[in-house]
Structure 1
Amino acid sequence: MATFQIEGGHSLKGEITPQGAKNETLQILCAVLLTDDEVIIENIPDIRDVNKLIGILGNLGVKIQKLGKGKYSFISDKLHLDYLESELFKEEGSSLRGSIMIVGPLLAKYGKGYIPRPGGDKIGRRRLDTHFEGFIKLGAKFRYNKEERFYGVEAPKGLKGTYMLLEEASVTGTANILMAAVLAKGITTIYNAACEPYLQQLCRMLVSMGAKIKGIGSNLLEIEGVEKLNGCTHRILPDMIEIGSWIGLAAMTKSEITIKNVSWENLGLIPNTFRKLGITIEKKGDDLYVPAHKDGYEVQSFIDGSIMNISDAPWPGFTPDLLSIMLVVATQARGSVLIHQKMFESRLFFVDKLIDMGAKIILCDPHRATIIGHDFKSTLKATTMTSPDIRAGISLLIAALSAKGTSTIHNIEQIDRGYENIDGRLKAIGAKITRM
């Protein structure tokens, strides 16, 4: 188990470029299975979860060639489908939740897809019902081996387009069903579809491959199935979660940081939500500039004077992946804020580690926490902690960088799942961090 040692209490300064978006990359990598032609993907982040999925694709028989930093070629013309029922796949697939999205493309192209029960973050239950209910509506038959906890869908006669209303606007569920529908016969209509930028990117990539999709960017998608898809070249967007992480880092450490090439049009509510905590954010071309907050930052209040409430929601609402960052940033704000995590039930359980560092947090229940900010009149204390998941891990790292003294974070493999060379990039702007 790897560990970070962090000497906190130092201001940072410089430029940092966000990596390619993890969540988009996992979708896009699965889409290469839909065609026999070459697909070239650019700006792929070098992180554990993405590299695991690339490894799974390689074991499945995809020909993979690295063309440069973050640039890969994929050819999926001859696959080893027996790998899907192997012990190796059960081990590899169960450790990566994103591997569920290979099922849709395989079902559409080969008439069957299997997946072990996926793992991933320990942030509460994350149901797969949306995925499989969508496949069943397209005409697939569902299989589940309870003893081996193995899921499967089969459609030897192919899939047929239909209308479906999704119970939840699941991003991975929408992506999976969408990738199955592009090769189904007839028209598929998906209502209550997820519509975040990364799903829009998947739609645009599929259209460039020859798919027929209407309603991109809305929650109502119409897909007219085609017989085959062609190859393409696609570039991954910058990671909005990493961009939000750097904003939070700059505020907590009173640092002057410029985040390069952020794709402002795809940030949604992220900049304004940080502004609610009193953080100054400036747009400079396609860069995002955060000045050093030498005098701290003050939480806004609602018009009626009630306490600021920041909550998550499906896009275009505020992403749940940044609520942990908002919570940490609020610990040094001037004022109080209520963080309401609606979409996952255990993501706030890392706050005990912040309380140990001296933060004033009241955990109301698994979904809500009230934070009374210190206004930098007392700093967080260095401590030893363990990262439970990706987003809590980066939040604890930000807390450690702002705290006086030397902190230790264990299980940093969780952070490496979502952040590329994070210690090297932080050192480049002045952070004192050592990987043990």
Structure 2
Amino acid sequence: MGKKGSQEDQLRDIISNIEELNEGQTEFLQAVREVYNTLNPLLEEEPEWINKKILQRISEPERQIIFRVPWQDDDGEIHINRGYRVEFNSALGPYKGGLRFHPSVNLSIIKFLGFEQIFKNALTGKQIGGGKGGSDFNPKGRSDDEIMRFCQSFMTELYRHLGENRDIPAGDIGVGTREIGYLFGQYKRIANRYESGMITGKDPQWGGTLVRNEATGYGLAYFVREILNEQDDEIDGKTFVVSGSGNVAIYAIEKIEELGGTVIACSDSDGFVHDKDGIDIDLVKKIKQEERGRIKEYAEEKGVDFHDDKSIWTLECNIALPCATQNELQKEDAETLVKNGCKIVAEGANMPVTHDAYETLRDGDVLFGPGKAANAGGVAVSALEMHQNASMDSMTFEETDERLQEIMKTIHKTCSETAEEYGRKGDYASGANIAGFKKVSRAMIAQGLI
């Protein structure tokens, strides 16, 4: 058997061993396979990385913290939730990654998110490592006081592991500026210091950065713009379908429409609305952000179609942006998108496209923007917030947005050039994985056996 075959066998053995060590952690193993199965060209160039067991070291978190979170509701009933923080890799800097409060949270999901965060953070060019955390606590329907008590209990355990040069959490699903405020307040009380750089996603009035709410959605639109620019094309005149109606989806829609695109559909867990004339983003903001309502209310007010019996991906569009949750776009959805002439799919959520769906899109000549590149705008602006906190300075909305555009342009260029360098032109997923893995691995080797 030739050298290439032997190396491929070794890679399969490595993945198999990781699967045995993490049995049952479906999302995490999916993320590992998605990255490692694209690395053969890199490992051919740097075969010693297999002997130095870089793949095994990167896939094993430096630290996994699991703890109980007891709290009391407004009726006096005691609840127990589980908290997590996975400090995955600090080769490039302190651990950086969000906190997710959602009933679906478990160790597998936190590990998959943390693993993705390693490479996403590397692609930003900022000196930040990868981590993730959260709890199976569901903030939906809870009062401000209940959420405050939960956040205080959560931080009472986690605070000892955090710090601006150690681990810097941020927001994610279920964790916005309200929750960040409660978490920071408890940290400040226990640590007895005002360390604004220990958490990001803060309100701009007390240390946060402008554009943070918009960053992931805006960044996704900017990444799609760069894909189109490389094809000598533009967003103006294109039709989009965007799943979700949270922050990422809302601000992706807002920026796409500002750049001349037309978003014809968005969704929530109840179903999706189809507005052929283009989504009225101000109405979506009113319903979802101000009133905390459901997307079907948009259909009722506008007199457009609402569907709860089929997939949003059945709609014809030029570009599809899954911005809701992991594994929402399945193989059959990808087949429909290909059949309907979709040309680009870019991930606004983390791993919303299954591996089978990705292969279907690739085989159908659909350009694919992986989440670790396409949705890196959020952590990029978090890094800018850290910079502002360290310098005790601030930037205007326009200045921060300009920096975000530059970062997304650089990420796209890195992915595109790396893919071409390794014989996979146009394969942004391979480009992102190889570029991120290479940067982290070289730092690990330079720092010894860590």
Question: Which has the larger helix fraction?
Answer: 2
- TM-score tier, shorter chain, comes to under 0.3
Q: What TM-score does the superposition give when structure 1 sets the normalisation length?
A: 0.28
Q: What TM-score does the superposition give when structure 2 sets the normalisation length?
A: 0.27
Question: Which has the larger strand fraction?
Answer: 1
